[in-house]
Amino acid sequence: MVVAISGMIGCGKSTLSKELNHYYANSILVEEFDNDDPVFNCFLKWLYEKEPNIDIAFQSYIIESLTESFLKEEQKFLEKFKDHENGFMFLDRFNIEHYIFAVITLEKKDPKYLKAFDAMFKYIVDVNLNPDLAIYLDANFEIIKERILKRGRKVEVENFDANEAYFQRLHELYKPLFIKLCEFYKIPYKIIQTDFKSDLDVFDQVKEYIDNYKFTQRTKSTSCK
């Protein structure tokens, strides 16, 4: 079963994904990116420093990279567990969410750019990689801001003030666009309001959703014989 932990930057999804991977022995974790990925880190730096004309290239790179990572990790998963019914693949965000980032970064440009990204997105996103269940961690902007600054990713902290309007706009649109995308692609989802909840409370609620989810075998995935 493929479970995506989703949400805005700073919502706590990476921490939760790791906790779930640690708790469920029959699981693997597919992280959004490698911290040492020089291409990703360069794009991220350019984004926060407002380097022009990188938006489509950045989101395209992430989607391609996530697709490659998913397929590679899925092969390992199937070699180990034989079938998706026997274990969990936890995704730290999934590729369709990057459409949301593209909308935010391209909305101030000529509409033709988002139109072009739309067309490309439909071709490069593989719907067979969509999760069986997506769990969205919701939080108010002040909590998101606090978490971003607390986790101390240098490029985000140093450029936060210059990009606060971007983070606010991303927070404003992330949940409604996430819901719209999940409904369009028919991805089952749950939304958890994390404000004023402990990490343990959030974990317990997510665990309950996962343990009670009626899994239907993934018919489109490649299985390991």
- Structural domain contains residue 191: yes
CA distance 72 to 69: 5
Q: Among 1, 33, 13, 55, which Cα is nearest to 178's?
A: 13
Question: Two tokens at 6?
Answer: 């989703």
pLDDT value for 169: 97
Residue 34 is part of a domain; what is its CATH number? Answer: 3.40.50.300
**pLDDT tens profile 46-63:** 999 989 999 899 989 999
**pLDDT tens profile 90-141:** 999 999 999 999 999 999 899 999 999 999 998 899 999 999 999 999 999 9
- Structural domain contains residue 34: yes
- Structural domain contains residue 217: no
Q: How confident is the model at residue 218 (pLDDT cuts 50, 70, 90)?
A: low
Lowest mean pLDDT among 8-17, 30-39, 107-116, 129-138: 30-39
Helices (H), the chain: 13-23, 38-48, 55-81, 98-106, 111-124, 141-151, 154-158, 160-184, 199-212
- Structural domain contains residue 222: no
- Structural domain contains residue 137: yes
| Number of separate domains in the chain | 1
- Structural domain contains residue 172: yes
Please report, as a single letter, which amino acid is at residue 180.
K
- Structural domain contains residue 53: yes
Q: Among 80, 83, 202, which Cα is nearest to 137's?
A: 202
0.75 cut: is pTM over it? Answer: yes
pLDDT value for 219: 47
Q: How confident is the model at residue 217 (pLDDT cuts 50, 70, 90)?
A: low
Structural domain boundaries, residue 71: 2-212
**Relative orientation angle of helices 160-184 and 141-151, to the nearest 10 degrees:** 120
- Structural domain contains residue 223: no
